[in-house]
Amino acid sequence: MSLTAPPAPAPRITYGAVLGSPYVARLLGGTLTGRLPNGMAPVAILLWATATGGSIAFGGLLSALYGLSSALSQPVKGRLMDRHGQTAVHLPAALLNSALLVALPVVGPQGSPALATAVVVAAGLTTPPLEAGLRALWPSVLPNPRLRHAALALDTGTQGLLYIVGPLLVATLASAYSPSLALAVTAALGLVGTATVACAPPSRRWRPAQPTSTDSGPGRRLTSPGLVLLFASLSGIGFAIGSMNVWSITMAEHHAQDMLSGILPAAFSTGSFLGGLVYGRRTWTSTTTGRLTAAGAAFLAGWLPLLALLGPYAAICAVIVPGAFLTVVVACAYVTTDALTPAGRTSEAYAWLILSIGAGQSVGTALAGRLAEHPFASAALPAAGAAFAVTVLLAARPHLGPAGHLSRAGRHRRPPRGQHKAPLNNIASL
């Protein structure tokens, strides 16, 4: 008879425990509020352009330019955060972005299209890099890996809600009042949310970990094979999402049900939210690389039923499945990125990850638009993007390294002389 008692099971992680940790609710709520304009601004810009006499084509171009300029500038802003801290980047970016969105209606119908285009592009370039910033904060705010795992899943899963709530809020404001007011509210939400994050102690004190001698070799650059292949695979994930958005519009036109163009992406986002909740509550014994590959395969499998040219109700149910695995793919991709990125460049690496998905989404949207008149091709594009992602992930497995690497906690400013120095990996105690 053994006198050694079996180890007690680890306590179950709850989202109440995560949100109850110091600063977590503030950082997550502020980031979601500050990023709500990502789902609002493109729609508000389109509605403003058409309401002031512009064509739908011109409004669509402005909307696309805003999203594209925002995505392309992410790595630059991530690099700036790694060098100068988060507050020094977040606040100026939010002020400029909000001012430009508010100034857009001043251009008015008398303004030249070139001026309106310049204002929109400048507004996109100055969107605050809140998503990359929050991912860089989690290791220092939540030193417990299990709490951090749940927070990352919750953070990733709630992102889809931005693109449900944002467009609905803009449509309500524009119809009840005016597109100009919708732009003003968009600017205000972005500024308030960003200030909430940037003024929080974890964000103000955050600094990236200092590079070590092991971070200077060629295998530890952002151009390492593992990171390049990972980001390439994520472009396939973005391609699937972008093509799905266009496919939903073709479904709405084919079945003469306009609401499908909004219901299908909403169902996909709902699946992402629910999948994140389930994933974050579990303790996983498999490797991160294994979960990433398995979730990518499940994401691909979830798109295959669309090839049967489903009816509206079956399609709504079907898109929930790939949505549920999207959160797992993205969450594991962030963990893998952190493990492969040299110290001092984490925010920049996260920004490249975001750009990869956004670039793939743009390509998927453009190609799906060209094939919108072909129902089977339109329905097959999301699966094609997912298949590309899985293929690249399988090729990348030898370069992704063993999973389970501990995330680096960013360093923080030294407390004033004479004060107690808190542990660097526990910002909540400061």
Q: Please give the model's pTM, rounded to 2 decimal places.
A: 0.73
Secondary structure (3-state) at 410: coil
pLDDT of res. 110: 57
Q: Which two tokens stand for residue 190?
A: 């972005």
Exposed, middle or buried by CB within 10 Å (0-12, 13-18, 19+), for 351? buried
Q: What residues contact 112, with CB distance under 8 A and at least 6 apart?
A: none
What stretches in the chain show pLDDT beneath 50?
Answer: 1-9, 214-220, 403-430
pLDDT of res. 353: 87
pLDDT of res. 383: 93
Instruction: Give 207's strand partners.
Output: 411
pLDDT of res. 414: 39
Secondary structure (3-state) at 402: coil
**Side-chain half-sphere CA neighbours of 291 within 13 A:** 24
pLDDT of res. 232: 92
pLDDT of res. 240: 92
199 within 8 A of 128, measured Cβ to Cβ = no
Q: Which two tokens stand for residue 282?
A: 């579990």
Task: Give which of 216, 238, 237, 255 is closest to 292, Cα–Cα.
Answer: 237
Instruction: Fill in the amino acid letter for 250.
Output: T
**Side-chain half-sphere CA neighbours of 384 within 13 A:** 16
383 within 8 A of 303, measured Cβ to Cβ = yes
Per the rule left: phi > 0, alpha: psi between -120 and 50, beta: everything else, 23 is left
pLDDT of res. 171: 77
Task: Give which of 283, 32, 249 is closest to 162, Cα–Cα.
Answer: 32
pLDDT of res. 234: 92
Q: Which residues of 260-277 are buried (b: 16+ CB within 10 A; e: fewer)?
A: bbbbbbbbbbbbbbbbbb
Q: Could you give the CA distance from residue 265 to residue 315 in angstroms, rounded to a whole number?
A: 11
Secondary structure (3-state) at 23: coil
* Runs of H (alpha helix) within 52-129: 56-72, 74-84, 87-107, 113-125
pLDDT of res. 94: 95
Q: What residues contact 9, with CB distance under 8 A and at least 6 apart?
A: none
Task: Give which of 210, 230, 209, 227 is closest to 218, Cα–Cα.
Answer: 227
pLDDT in tens, 333-343: 888 887 888 77
pLDDT in tens, 209-259: 665 554 444 444 667 888 889 999 999 998 998 888 778 877 877 777 767
Tell me the CA distances in angstroms from 225 to 20, 44, 267, one per residue in order. 39, 40, 35
